[in-house]
């Protein structure tokens, strides 16, 4: 299925990376496990789990600078408190449905313990959206084994999008949503920085959708509830404070699609930079990190890249999805751009 860029929807002036994917940022990997079946009791598994691995080394021993930005906090994400306090990321980022956060979290703890015997405390980051329209969410089909499988399947290839992994049962603006991704190249001197965004979309009402083909009418608040998880990766050398500034611009891209971050919506951005690796232990009393000057024009281009890649990732989550039938015969149509 074509991405929106291939359909003639070009967002912004910056070029995309070769894969137009978060994995354009070197070292970043993505893995999905998708559950899609009906049980004998007529409950329906229409869900999954997605793993984002931020770099190819040992994540605990070589931490990355990170930040989070809560656009609207009606969410159950784990691990943001320590990111906010310390400004570092030391684990993969997991995405799944609301009631499966513990399983994805536990799978990642075990995955990290296998790699790093000295761990006695670790901050695992797990995000969620609620897929209960299509998935019998109370049955909690996602297991630790599924989380582990997603981690082991993670690849630097162009990742699957749409109704896959954590996105299998998600609904965006009343149409089928799920996993979307996009990237941007930010030129500077004779080189370029990369910015990649991956979204898990599950929010909005059809009347709010700026790319929609219906006339706005009265909005049903229940239909507008939902969530979006936005994961931003970059190889630009940024401090945690600078990363938070960039993460805030993801909200610009979300707003352009029509997202209003309604009362019942958990809209959360998590950002990390692969430019500096911070050792877990060191004999030195200081760390030396490189960071961009904010008065350089390239900084504004990073803001634009975050906004544009987020907008395109949301649209790709819909363009790459398929019409899906889930629990109780609920049917969510694919949006035709």
Phi-psi region of 162 (alpha: psi -120 to 50; beta: other; left: phi over 0): left
Contacts of 334 (CB under 8 A, 6+ apart): 175, 176, 318, 321, 322, 323
Catalytic residue among 24, 131, 267, 308: 267
Alpha-carbon distance of 239 to 230, in angstroms, equals: 19
Residue 245 makes CB contacts below 8 A (sequence gap 6+) with 303
- Neighbour-count burial of 86, counting CB atoms closer than 10 A to its CB (0-12 exposed, 13-18 middle, 19+ buried): middle
User: Which H or E element spans position 243?
Assistant: helix 240-248
Query: Would you say the C-alpha torsion 314, 317, 323, 328 has a positive or negative sign?
Result: negative
Catalytic-residue membership of 265:
yes
Q: Which residue out of 265, 273, 308, 317 is catalytically annotated?
A: 265
Positive or negative torsion for Cα 72, 74, 78, 82:
positive
The answer to whether residue 282 is catalytic is: no
Q: At what angle do helices 250-257 and 297-319 cross, to 10 degrees?
A: 40
Tokens of 188: 């500077």
* 227 part of the active site: yes
Select which of 227, 239, 273, 317 is catalytic: 227
Separation of alpha carbons 264 and 267, rounded Å: 10
Specify which residues 269 forms β-bridges with.
69, 230
Residues labelled catalytic: 227, 265, 267
């Amino acid at each position: 299925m074509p991405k929106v860029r291939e359909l003639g929807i070009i967002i912004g002036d910056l070029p995309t990376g070769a894969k137009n994917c978060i994995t354009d940022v070197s070292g970043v990997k993505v893995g999905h496990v998708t559950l899609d079946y009906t049980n004998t009791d007529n409950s329906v598994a229409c869900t999954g789990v997605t793993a984002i691995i931020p770099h190819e080394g040992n994540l605990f021993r070589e931490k990355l600078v990170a930040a989070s930005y809560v656009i609207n906090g009606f969410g159950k994400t784990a691990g943001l408190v320590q990111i906010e306090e310390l400004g570092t990321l030391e684990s993969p980022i997991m995405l799944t449905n609301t009631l499966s956060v513990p399983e994805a979290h536990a799978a990642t703890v075990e995955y990290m313990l296998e790699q790093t015997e000295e761990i006695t405390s670790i901050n695992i980051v797990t995000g969620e959206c609620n897929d209960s329209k299509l998935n019998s969410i109370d049955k909690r089909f996602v297991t630790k084994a599924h989380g582990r499988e997603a981690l082991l399947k993670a690849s630097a290839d162009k990742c699957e999008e749409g109704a896959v992994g954590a996105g299998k049962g998600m609904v965006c603006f009343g149409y089928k949503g799920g996993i979307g991704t996009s990237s941007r190249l930010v030129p500077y001197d004779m080189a370029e920085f990369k910015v990649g965004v991956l979204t898990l979309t599950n929010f909005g009402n059809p009347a709010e959708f700026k790319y929609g083909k219906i006339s706005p009418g009265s909005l049903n608040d229940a239909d507008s509830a939902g969530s979006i998880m936005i994961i931003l990766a970059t190889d630009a050398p940024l401090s945690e404070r600078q990363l938070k500034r960039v993460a805030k611009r993801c909200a610009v891209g979300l707003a352009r699609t029509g997202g209003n971050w309604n009362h019942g919506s958990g809209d959360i951005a998590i950002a990390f930079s692969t430019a500096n690796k911070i050792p877990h232990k060191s004999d030195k009393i200081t760390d030396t990190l490189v960071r961009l000057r904010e008065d350089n024009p390239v900084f504004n281009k990073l803001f634009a890249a975050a906004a544009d890649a987020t907008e395109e990732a949301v649209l790709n989550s819909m363009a790459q999805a398929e019409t899906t039938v889930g629990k109780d015969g609920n049917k969510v149509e694919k949006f035709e751009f």
